[in-house]
Amino acid sequence: MVMNENRRFRDSIYEQLARIGKAVASPKRLELLDLLVQGPRTVEALAEETGMTVANASRHLQLLRSARLVEAGKEGLYVRYRLADEAVGAFLRGMRTLADKRLAEIDQIVRQFLKDHEDLEPVDLDTLLERLSEGAVIVLDVRPQEEYRAGHIPGAISIPLKELEGRLDELPRDREVVAYCRGHYCILAIEAVEVLRTRGFSARYLEDGVLDWRLRGLDVAVGENPL
């Protein structure tokens, strides 16, 4: 009798845990979660960013919601989604770290992409913190303004990538610029550094994003551009 109860207990627990696995067993749902790490978004904005129809994005979001990974609220005519808990972001980062260690295919994909950008030197968080303490760098956030307002590295200047060419005069030329975006698999910062270097700036890109910054226990700022 006790053995049967133990078995039922374990079966029930693992069945619930499997809900998380099923919910993230989709490249598009993982991408949706990665975007929601940056801040709340409407279904329409998420659909556009991920290249899906609104109907398809909505179906994926409903599956994530059924696993309690995201929450939704009505704002006027729109439904806005957000992560249900900061633990979801930590879960995503843990999954990424594990995949980086165990899946050689990821390393191959990254190397293949970066082979055309080998001259662009990345910066890690520890190096950035050291350089910031010396007052030696300007931090540039090249994500969309909505993501910046939801949370950014304190003191970072917000210039979305698509606006960068027309706003270069807002950046000082006497210090190195460190651009960042959404984290390890985001290429916005790499593209920004290429633009900056062709215009004579000393620039590098941060490998990490706001999630990594937050999970290090560092303060995250919210609100408008300090400029």
pLDDT by residue for the chain (227 residues), tens only, comes to: 666 889 999 999 999 999 999 999 999 999 999 999 999 999 999 999 999 999 999 999 999 999 999 999 998 889 999 999 999 999 999 999 999 999 999 989 988 887 777 678 899 999 999 999 998 999 999 999 999 999 999 999 999 999 999 999 999 999 999 999 999 889 999 999 999 999 999 999 999 999 999 999 999 999 876 55
128 and 53, same structural domain?
no
| β partners of residue 142 | none
Same domain? For 84 and 124 the reply is: no
186 counts as catalytic: no
Within-domain flag for 185: yes
Does residue 148 share a domain with residue 82? Answer: no
By residue range, what is the domain housing residue 8?
2-88
User: Would you say residue 47 lies in a domain?
Assistant: yes
Residue 102 within a domain: no
- Both 125 and 54 in one domain: the answer is no
- State the Cα–Cα distance between residues 38 and 144, nearest whole angstrom: 10
Do 185 and 128 lie in a common domain? Answer: yes
Q: Please tell me whether residues 130 and 210 are part of one structural domain.
A: yes
> Is pTM beyond 0.85 here?
yes
* Cβ pair 38, 153 in contact under 8 A: no
Compute the chain's Rg from CA coordinates: 20
Q: Given 181, 189, 193, 211, which residue is catalytic?
A: 181
Q: Looking at the 3D structure of the chain, how many domains does it have?
A: 2
Distance CA 16, CA 67 (A): 9
CA distance 216 to 137: 20
What's the CA gap between 181 and 163, in Å, rounded? Answer: 14
| Torsions phi, psi for 85 (to 5 deg) | -165, 150
